[in-house]
């Protein structure tokens, strides 16, 4: 149980960073495209402001991902031994994409401002965005295999990949990827609208800047809220029989009992709590999207609607709660399996790791993740409150003082 809760802590917290990173990278890339094509000064300032918030979230999110890797090696050596030949392949590809390609091009984008021409600089942010998508896809390929293992065979007690195509096109991975993609856009849309609402509520001098940002955020919310539900619902066609219940679920339980012995093969009640909470959050987000759709044509209302500004600020956490709830339903509902129908969770644990070691690592990870989450929230709030005038992304370094000119003595 400690190992499971620790994994829930690390993976769940890390994904909160990933969602905003995916969505905000896309909006920053689109905004920079608009700025490059039109030469709009306000859109260039928007790229610098929202890009700085993206970089902050990305940087802290990378650290949480590194910490999550440690708990894999500490707690789940049994899983690595049995499934490493299949499960490890997409994770290795994700590491190459995220830590080498994406981070390299992001560094070039950050430090290439005013050093590269606008089209080369624009290309960099699109490479960053597309590699972020590719990174998320490979992670979901690995997770999709845990949910619905395909394209493998067991040889001497270990899984061996036999069909890479089946692994990469697993419906539980592909549908989840599109679902997460729109979920990231929904998160970024609410985030952009909430920050803009805060500044408009304060009657900022940057009215045009945050009016445009509010429109982008609301448009993103309106375009993303329904695809999130559609692609989330499509995944139920591939959900595990034990999650469906009924005769199909009973038959699956009977089959597992015959193959693996008696056990509790029904999903825990927490899975259904996650589903209910996810549905509730989506309904609230849909209400906000409908109101925004009705009022969207009235640009002045976006600036003067003080009640709506408060609502948008309060709505920023909604997609985060929905994502964690959906993740609980997806992951907890798979229990007692680590790899559904192949490897039980208890058999995936590391041998020899006692409860004392587990408790110590759990306490350390909890404190570390709390600090990282707090630092990220503090930095985002700090830079968001400063507004575009306080954005340092892409700013030219201060000029070095000129050397004094000495008069010739002779």
195-220: per-residue pLDDT in tens?
Answer: 999 998 888 778 889 888 998 999 99
CA separation, residue 58 to residues 36, 53, 257, 337 (Å): 23, 9, 45, 32
Check whether 295 has a pLDDT greater than 80.
no
Check whether 406 has a pLDDT greater than 50.
no
Place of tokens 């769940």: 12
What is the arithmetic mean of pLDDT over 97-117? 87
User: Per-residue confidence at 409, pLDDT binned at 50, 70, 90?
Assistant: very low
Check whether 156 has a pLDDT greater than 70.
yes
Q: Are 80 and 88 in contact (CB under 8 A)?
A: yes
What is the arithmetic mean of pLDDT over 15-22? 91
Among 230-244, 329-343, 350-364, 391-405, which is the least confidently predicted range?
391-405
Q: Are 169 and 205 in contact (CB under 8 A)?
A: no
Rounded Cα gap, residues 8 and 351, in angstroms: 20
Check whether 305 has a pLDDT greater than 80.
no
Rounded Cα gap, residues 348 and 337, in angstroms: 9
CA separation, residue 393 to residues 63, 99, 107, 154, 212 (Å): 21, 21, 12, 51, 20
Q: Are 221 and 288 in contact (CB under 8 A)?
A: yes
**Residue 56 vs residue 69, higher pLDDT:** 56
Gyration radius from the chain CA atoms: 24
What is the arithmetic mean of pLDDT over 244-265? 86
Check whether 297 has a pLDDT greater than 70.
no
Place of tokens 């149980």: 1
The whole-chain average pLDDT of the chain stands at: 86
Check whether 237 has a pLDDT greater than 60.
yes
Torsion, Cα 240 242 243 247, to 10 degrees, reads 110
Check whether 299 has a pLDDT greater than 70.
no
User: Per-residue confidence at 316, pLDDT binned at 50, 70, 90?
Assistant: very high
Reference 354, options 83, 74, 68; nearest CA is 74
């Amino acid at each position: 149980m400690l190992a499971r809760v620790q994994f829930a802590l690390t993976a769940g917290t890390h994904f909160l960073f990933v969602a905003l990173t995916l969505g905000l990278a896309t909006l920053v890339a689109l905004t920079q495209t608009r700025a490059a094509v039109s030469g709009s000064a306000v859109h260039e300032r928007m790229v610098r402001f929202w890009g700085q918030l993206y970089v902050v979230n990305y940087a802290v999110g990378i650290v949480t991902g590194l910490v999550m890797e440690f708990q894999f090696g500490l707690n789940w050596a049994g899983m690595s031994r049995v499934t490493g030949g299949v499960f490890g392949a997409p994770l290795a590809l994700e590491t190459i994409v995220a830590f080498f390609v994406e981070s390299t091009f992001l560094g070039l984008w950050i430090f290439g401002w005013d050093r590269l021409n606008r089209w080369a600089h624009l290309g960099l942010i699109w490479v960053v965005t597309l590699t972020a998508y590719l990174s998320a896809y490979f992670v979901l390929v690995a997770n999709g295999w845990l949910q619905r293992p395909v394209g493998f065979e067991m040889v001497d007690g270990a899984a061996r990949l036999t069909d890479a195509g089946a692994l990469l096109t697993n419906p539980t991975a592909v549908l989840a990827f599109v679902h997460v993609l729109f979920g990231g856009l929904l998160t970024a849309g609410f985030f952009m609208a909430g920050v803009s609402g805060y500044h408009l509520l304060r009657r900022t001098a940057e009215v045009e800047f945050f009016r445009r940002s509010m429109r982008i955020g609301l448009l993103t919310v309106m375009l993303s809220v329904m695809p999130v539900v559609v692609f989330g619902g499509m995944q139920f066609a591939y959900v595990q029989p034990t999650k469906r219940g009924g005769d199909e679920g009973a038959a699956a339980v009977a089959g597992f009992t015959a193959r693996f012995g008696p056990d509790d093969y029904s999903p825990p009640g927490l899975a259904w709590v996650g589903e209910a909470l996810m549905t509730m959050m989506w309904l609230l987000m849909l209400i906000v999207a409908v109101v925004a759709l009705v009022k969207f044509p009235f640009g002045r209302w976006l600036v003067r609607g003080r009640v709506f500004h408060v609502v948008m600020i309060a709505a920023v956490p909604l997609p985060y709660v929905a994502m964690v709830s959906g993740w609980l339903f997806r992951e907890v509902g798979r229990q007692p399996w680590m790899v559904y129908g192949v490897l039980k969770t208890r058999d995936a644990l590391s041998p020899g790791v006692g409860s004392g070691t587990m408790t110590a690592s759990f306490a350390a990870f909890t404190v570390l993740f709390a600090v990282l989450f707090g630092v990220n929230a503090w930095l985002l709030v700090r830079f968001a409150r400063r507004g575009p005038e306080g954005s340092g992304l892409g700013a030219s370094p201060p000029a070095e003082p000129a050397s004094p000119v000495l008069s010739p003595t002779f």
